[in-house]
Copies of this chain bind each other. A is one copy, B any other.
């Protein structure tokens, strides 16, 4: 199952004609996770030809407008499109009061349930789990309570080695499930066939970490260690390090340092301040520390593998 990240917007603070505020769509194991939802996200989703009905989980990092002002409109549109399935919204405590106040006053009567998962913990916690995917919070260090999110495929099943298996007529189709889970097979004469003879290693499970907005904070490194792709905000270049600290943000150099120390596969930068007309400086600065750094492109779909 392929995993794709679609960048819907990566701008900070004020939306412009050409760039939208933060929002991403992660397709992992056929789940469609929306991450942050700045104003205009529903139009970006349309441009990306996303299927609204497949979005059942929305993860909001923090309650600054450029990360959540698209939520009321998106949820209102879900209703107009006839949605019936529950929608799970994960975000800081307060998100329920805000949305429910808006829905009450704007008479947005929903035909579906919004299930709020309000977050308050300062520690990383598992907030979602199903058969194939787990999601953990990544406590960040911003001006306001803020979490990144770690999305992780569960370990895949081992592949059957049919050439070996076919040598043992005692092994039946109903045994394959246990073999895929890594169990040995005991023949009727008591001989134990080791699992690694009958199967080969599973495909790698992929992982994605979304970190926005935050000061440079090495406490996130154990949580995001070895992820395949890390999105980390880089609002400023390092000559404005003081401004970054003051406003609760990170510099490109610092984001790269996090990526290197966490040994991630790829770093995507984002959330650039509007003061920078030319983003290539971000790649130059980060690339010296962590080579596999890329800039996001709006509506770009990035495979995670």
Contacts and interface: CB of A to CB of B under 8 A. Distances in A.
Interface string A63-85: 11110111011001100110000
A46 to B, nearest CB: 5
A239 interface: no
A296 to B, nearest CB: 19
Given A43-B16, A81-B14, A106-B98, A65 B69 contact: no
Contacts of A76: 65-66, 69
A16 B108 contact: no
Nearest to A76: B65
Q: How often does this chain occur in the complex, in copies?
A: 2
Size bracket of the A interface: 35 or more
Contact of A97 (B40, B101, B144): B101
A174 interface: no
A42 interface: yes
Interface in A34-71: 39-40, 42-43, 46-47, 63-66, 68-70
A80 to B, nearest CB: 5
Contacts of A66: 73, 76
Contacts of A39: 39-40, 42, 70, 73
A221 to B, nearest CB: 28
Contacts of A69: 69, 72-73, 76, 106
A116 B64 CA distance: 22
Nearest to A274: B80
Nearest to A98: B105
A13 interface: yes
Interface of A: 13-17, 39-40, 42-43, 46-47, 63-66, 68-70, 72-73, 76-77, 80-81, 94-95, 97-98, 101-102, 105-108, 143-144
Given A39-B70, A69-B69, 12 more contacts: A13-B80, A14-B80, A15-B42, A15-B43, A16-B43, A16-B46, A65-B108, A66-B73, A68-B106, A69-B106, A97-B101, A107-B144
